[in-house]
Amino acid sequence: MTTSTIEFDSPRSSAEMPAFDAGRFEQVSERHAQIVTLMNQYSLDAVLLRDRANFSWVTTGGEPCPSGSGRCVASILVTPEARVVLCHDSNAPWLFDKELSELGFLVKERPWTESPCVLQEDVCRGRQMGIDVPNGNARNLSEELQSLRLSRSDRELQSLRISGKKLTHAVEATARGFSPGDSEREIAGQLSHRLWKQGLEPIQVRICGDGREKRYRTGGNSRDAVMRHAVIRAIVRKDGLHLGSTRTVVFGQCDETLIENYQLASFVLATAMRFTQFGFRIEETWRKAARIFEKFGQPDEWRRAPQAEILGYAPQEIVITPQEQRTFPDRSICYWHPNVGGIEVGDSVIARQGGFEKITLSENWPLLSIRSGVDNINVPGILIREVPPGSA
């Protein structure tokens, strides 16, 4: 196999060239070494990374998918000596200017008229291969790679804290800013605009309200207008990592059922966050949250919709269920969003040794203080907005 360096038609100005990031380069090198350890463990010559999550993990935030396409335009071949990007010649300039600059990657490219599979098959031929997507006789390393990418570095945590503030600001600003009569799709558009403006890629934006959320616990945004209340939910991607936030807003007076459902969801959220800690068994944390549903007389309510996921370089690394046998990885991201009667409250937290860290902190938003054991835990409350004249 031969490799080449990128040559550009015209030189870039210094303003166009990203500054060298020594911390990111060091992290990429560490992850390269982790993959080499896997190769030695299974007597492999190389590993081919085709999954978007693994591409972003090994590059510490590189994006292989053009915005909005969801289609990976590059893969990475890792050998003990090199890390090589495989792509079309039309994609290489963007990848190496904007995503992978000065990170030690080589490139092997082909014309855009050729299927990417041809190049991938060429570089794998005659080698003992590992791969992250099941393919023929190559060893499937998807589980091993997922385990490697679940824990966050100091550098990643700092990025997540910044992204968490931006996400929460966008969700809460949308809740404060839309008008009664706006459709769910219009509100979703307002939120998406705010997210893109903050440099956050919307992965899921969901608006549901006025009682429709009880029937449609999951799904898309409809043409229906929001007049009384709305649940606003977003999962975003920044630097390859995902996090989520959910808020509820009401126009005028809350009805009693909505308040009761929100209180239960808030108690579940506080309990679940308290026991989201490094080394805790996920099934045990789930049982503690499920006891809150039982205590409030709704033991089966959690069965109607997913309640939480561990996020990371994939939008769903682990779906939290009663059967999950694993423990919370150190510094993993968990997005709890308890759903009761369709009413939902949600925050993203980092599982740490001896406690959790919330990263979707509210700015100017009502808070509820929930007593959980010996701790008082703040969770988002319901934003009550006045009904504008003429919109009732």
For residue 180, how far is the Cα from the chain centroid? Answer: 30
Question: What pLDDT sits at residue 368?
Answer: 93
Count CB atoms within 10 A of the CB of residue 18: 13
Candidate ranges 20-29, 36-45, 70-79, 127-136; pick with highest mean pLDDT: 36-45
pLDDT > 80? residue 363: yes
Question: What pLDDT sits at residue 1?
Answer: 52
Question: What pLDDT sits at residue 99?
Answer: 92
Q: What is the mean pLDDT of residues 115-143?
A: 91
Question: What pLDDT sits at residue 148?
Answer: 95
Q: Spell 225-237 as b/e; 16+ CB within 10 A means b.
A: ebbbbbbbbbbbb
- Using CB atoms within 10 A of its CB, is residue 76 exposed (0-12), middle (13-18) or buried (19+)? buried
pLDDT > 70? residue 18: no
- Where does the chain hold its CATH 3.90.230.10 domain(s)? 154-385
Give the residue with greater pLDDT, 268 vs 218.
268
User: pLDDT tens digits for 288-344?
Assistant: 999 999 999 999 999 999 999 999 999 999 999 999 999 999 999 999 999 999 999
pLDDT band at 151 (very low <50, low <70, confident <90, very high): very high
- Where does the chain hold its CATH 3.40.350.10 domain(s)? 14-148
The distance between the two most distant Cα atoms of the chain, rounded to a whole number of Å, is 73
pLDDT > 70? residue 15: no
pLDDT > 70? residue 11: no
Question: What pLDDT sits at residue 358?
Answer: 96
pLDDT > 60? residue 362: yes
154-385: what fold? Creatine Amidinohydrolase (3.90.230)
> Coil, strand or helix: which one is 131?
strand
d(CA 54, CA 141) in angstroms, rounded, equals 11
Q: What is the mean pLDDT of residues 273-279?
A: 96
Q: Which CATH class is domain 14-148?
A: alpha beta
Question: What pLDDT sits at residue 16?
Answer: 58
- ∠ Cα 29 50 206 (to 5°): 105
- Give the residues across from 206 on adjacent strands: 233
Give the residue with greater pLDDT, 344 vs 134.
344
pLDDT > 60? residue 4: no
> Coil, strand or helix: which one is 164?
helix
Answer for the pair 149, 57: CB distance below 8 angstroms, yes or no: yes
Q: What is the mean pLDDT of the chain?
A: 92
Give the residue with greater pLDDT, 71 vs 262.
262
Question: What pLDDT sits at residue 9?
Answer: 53
pLDDT band at 66 (very low <50, low <70, confident <90, very high): confident
Q: What is the pTM of this model?
A: 0.91
pLDDT band at 68 (very low <50, low <70, confident <90, very high): low
Question: What pLDDT sits at residue 135?
Answer: 80
d(CA 170, CA 244) in angstroms, rounded, equals 12
